[in-house]
Amino acid sequence: MTAKVKVCSRCSGAMNATALEKVSAGEAPVRISMTGFPVFACAKGHHSPVHRDFMVWLMHELRDRHLNAIPAGEAKGMLFKKYHCACGAELPSQPARNASFAFDLAYPDAPAFKGAIEVPVFTCGSCGKEQARSAKEIAGATPAAIAALNDAAGFPHSG
């Protein structure tokens, strides 16, 4: 790992590279889960990101590469939004279920890890396609989900 955290910011203990088996968090409508999440940890169990820009990188990676892979409807209407499938049919007002979309991630000089984004999906009554209500809605909720993931991983807050 290129930028190593040598001492814990909370207890000044030595930190070593490790991985969190599983960490999940989120804010409706987005829940993010990571498996094998690379971190630095001290003997007292405090955690720190593998690099100071790691969480910003993760947010950009999700937004730029992985959110686009989630099928989503489109919002129409200026004041009262209705969500429509690509076939033109209006999506139901209630989701059919929550679906998880998995992907692989690799931060430079850190072990590869797996991630998943869970969102409510709606089934089109016309063509049967399952999709999120809106890509814009998912993208808007992702920063709050990343902040919740930061807290779930036990990372210190900066600033």
pLDDT along the chain (159 residues), means of 10: 66 94 93 97 94 93 91 92 95 96 95 97 97 93 94 84
Query: The whole model's pTM is what?
Result: 0.87
Give, in degrees to the nearest 5, the angle at Cα 120 between 57 and 61.
10
pLDDT at site 28: 85
In whole angstroms, give the CA distance from residue 150 to residue 139: 17
Both tokens of 129, joined, read 């396609």
pLDDT at site 4: 53
pLDDT at site 158: 64
pLDDT at site 49: 94
Q: 136: which strand partners?
A: none
Beta strands in the chain (DSSP E): 15-27, 30-42, 47-49, 74-76, 82-84, 97-105, 113-123, 130-131
In whole angstroms, give the CA distance from residue 75 to residue 93: 12
Both tokens of 39, joined, read 């971190």
| Amino acid residing at 46 | H
Output the CA torsion 63→66→26→158 (10° steps).
-50
Dihedral sign of CA atoms 101, 19, 43, 10 in order:
negative
